[in-house]
A and B are shown apart, each in its own frame.
Chain A
């Protein structure tokens, strides 16, 4: 049962470098999300997608871009990494339906920007 899979799990970047976090889900979910987790702040939504080919900004989108070319994949890009983007990133997915659906999370990607 793969569920939501994220790669890589750990990464260290230098300021100004770029990278892409990959997310794949095998549950045929329509909705996908990228969150970041910082100490004492819970999880905050970066970007989300309600279907293949569509993306939208969440609560903290600045400095990130996303793409959803296939229903099962949701990519998060950092074009020019900054130390403030040091965080744990979680991809998640859910069915498209009424509110209250369970959101399923991946195991996280630990990113350090030095």
Chain B
């Protein structure tokens, strides 16, 4: 069964510093990969996703993620953190094949990002 591991439930960075949120998946076949962001008391918003093509994916708000098949990873980065980036970030995977007749999405446990001045 596929699973998603997000290393670090809490990450704290200084404003202007690099943001690196780690995500590894377990699957014999590389799945589709997603990053969602959840701001306090709000729903989940898609940051970016990888389906096919270029392995470096750019998303909203200056975030990007790189799919590395050899490392089964899809880490999320942003060169310079902003206070408004403070939120919870979820990595998720979706199998290549339609499973059970629906778009199955398997979430990691989430990483809460804190940005301090």
Contact = CB atoms under 8 A, between A and B. Distances in A.
Given A99-B103, A104-B46, 7 more contacts: A43-B90, A44-B107, A99-B99, A100-B94, A103-B105, A107-B42, A108-B42
A50 B109 contact: no
Interface of B: 4, 9, 32, 34, 36, 41-46, 49, 51, 90, 94-105, 107-110
B26 to A, nearest CB: 15
B95 A105 contact: no
Given A90-B44, A106-B43, A101 B9 contact: no
A106 B42 CA distance: 8
Contacts of B42: 107-108
A2 interface: no
Nearest to A9: B41
Contacts of A100: 32, 49, 51, 94, 96, 103
Given A100-B49, A103-B105, A90 B43 contact: yes
Contacts of A44: 107
Nearest to A102: B46
What is the interface residue range for chain A against chain B?
20 to 34
B90 A99 contact: no
Contacts of A94: 103
A98 B90 CA distance: 22
A50 B99 CA distance: 12
A31 B57 CA distance: 26
B43 A50 contact: no
B107 A105 contact: no
Contacts of B99: 99
A56 interface: yes
